Amino acid sequence: MATAAPTRSATGGPRRPGRGTTTPSAAGHAESRTKLVLYGLAGVLAVLVFAAPLLWSLLRAFQTNAVITEAPSWATFFDLTAANFAAVGGTAGLGRATLNSLVVSLSTAVLTAAVATAAGYGFGRFRFRFSGAAFGAIVLTLMIPFQAIITPLFMQLNAMRLTDSLLGLVLFYTTVNLPFGVFVMRNAFAAVPSELEDAAFVDGAGTGRTFFSVLRPLVTPGIATTALYAFLASWTEFLGALTFLTQQQLYTLPVALLNLQQGAYGAVDYGLLAAGALIAMIPCVVLYVGLQRYYVAGLASGSLKG
């Protein structure tokens, strides 16, 4: 009777990978691919969750009010038109409201960044009596909602005859956004080594030259963060604008959209409202995308030195 020769595995040698067997490296690659697919699916799902409302608003902005309010139908669902955007600057008067919002938001961003930079330079580079207590008091106001101070601010601005004016609204927004700006800029200046400033003074540079030539490039992320935060906060703010403004030609975009939503005799043009809301998103998205790296860097420096 013939005896079968022993296989290599039976003799204790290394087993060669055959059909149905998986090497450790192949298993690792398969696990990595599985994780990659799962991460991809999670990313796509997250994008859909956040992008779906924007895409829905974009679609509704190009539809007439009749299409929006009628029963859903594929026959008319993609009947798109730009009539809503033409009406935004016409009968709806949102063109003037958009211009008012731009004037108020840009002025607030510039004024807040300028005052916060000056205050942050003082707190970050100089030590004087009660400087810590003063900075702590400013930071403490971050915890106070602006609704709690809107009445005394309104009374003060009314006494100065600054209510019902865009200038008064700019001063109100600057006051509300300054604590965060001072906090960011103080930490931005504190993160700069004092040796750089000392070297500039030794080379004969004055305070102004040292600030603009040496310190300014290093604190630019903080300035951009402060300006962007103030712009976005004032661009989307509603309650303050509704309180301080009564004349329709001075309305900012959020207040004008509220009037549009209420409509005449309760009628609401949803297509026009969606077009106005879409226009309100554009400056926020453009500014955030353009200044995103400065914004993240400024917030990171504030978190490290706070």
Confidence tier at 3 by pLDDT (50, 70, 90): very low
Whole-number Å distance between alpha carbons of 121 and 191: 11
* pLDDT value at residue 108: 95
| Region 70-91 average pLDDT | 76
- R_g of the chain computed on alpha carbons: 30
Burial 6-33 (b: 16+ CB within 10 A, else e): eeeeeeeeeeeeeeeeeeeeeeeeeeee
Q: Is the pLDDT score of 147 beyond 50?
A: yes
Write the DSSP string, 142-197. GGS-GGGTHHHHHHHHHHTT-TTSHHHHHHHHHHHHHHHHHHHHHHHHHTS-HHHH
Q: Is the pLDDT score of 110 beyond 90?
A: yes
Provide the percentage of residues in the chain whose pLDDT is more than 90.
Answer: 14
Structural domains in the chain, CATH included, are: 92-303 (1.10.3720.10)
Write the DSSP string, 42-59. HHHHHHHHHHHHHHHHHH
Whole-number Å distance between alpha carbons of 194 and 210: 11
Torsion of CA 153, 155, 160, 166, to 10 degrees: 60
